[in-house]
């Protein structure tokens, strides 16, 4: 099974990774894992005055801050994974990646906001569930 693991480096990501480790009967080495993080885009006016190489390096560095500990986690669990970062709104990035990569499952942590909080603040998990045709496993 192709599994997309969406991470943001928060305590909710750590909880989700703990869930993966605790349920190795479901998430074993037989699966194909891709770990994805979304890096927020630099505002257009700021990006216009920064050279492209510097901007690309910034996005790579920000992505690696999140991906490096997750890569270490997967190695310790004896699981192979590909890692990638993409620039954009996290919900959009995850939903598009799930469709484009033809994944069988998306696994991500959730903050567990109430409905009222989602209306006021928005929620990446809510966006992904609403816009993704791939099944989504939310770990709270």
Backbone φ, ψ for residue 5 (5° rounding): -105, 110
Taking the alpha carbons of 16, 17, 21, 24 in that order, is the dihedral positive or negative? Answer: positive
pLDDT, tens only, 16-56: 999 999 998 999 999 999 999 999 999 999 999 999 999 99
Question: What is the band of 121 on the pLDDT scale with cuts at 50, 70, 90?
Answer: very low
Q: What Å distances lie between residue 39 and 19, 36, 76, 122, CA to CA?
A: 24, 10, 25, 17
Query: Mean pLDDT, the chain, as a whole number?
Result: 92
Q: Write down the pTM of the prediction.
A: 0.91
């Amino acid at each position: 099974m192709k599994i997309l693991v969406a991470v943001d480096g928060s305590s909710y990501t750590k909880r989700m990774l703990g869930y993966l480790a605790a349920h190795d009967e479901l998430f074993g080495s037989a699966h194909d894992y891709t770990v994805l993080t979304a890096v927020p885009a630099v505002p257009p006016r700021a990006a216009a005055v920064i050279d492209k190489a510097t901007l690309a390096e910034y996005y790579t560095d920000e992505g690696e801050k999140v991906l490096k500990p997750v890569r270490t986690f997967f190695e310790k669990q004896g699981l192979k994974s590909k890692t990638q970062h993409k620039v954009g709104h996290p919900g959009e990035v995850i939903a598009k990646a799930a469709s484009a990569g033809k994944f069988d499952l998306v696994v991500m942590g959730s903050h567990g906001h109430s409905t009222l909080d989602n209306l006021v603040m928005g929620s990446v998990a809510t966006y992904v569930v609403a816009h993704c045709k791939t099944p989504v496993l939310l770990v709270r």
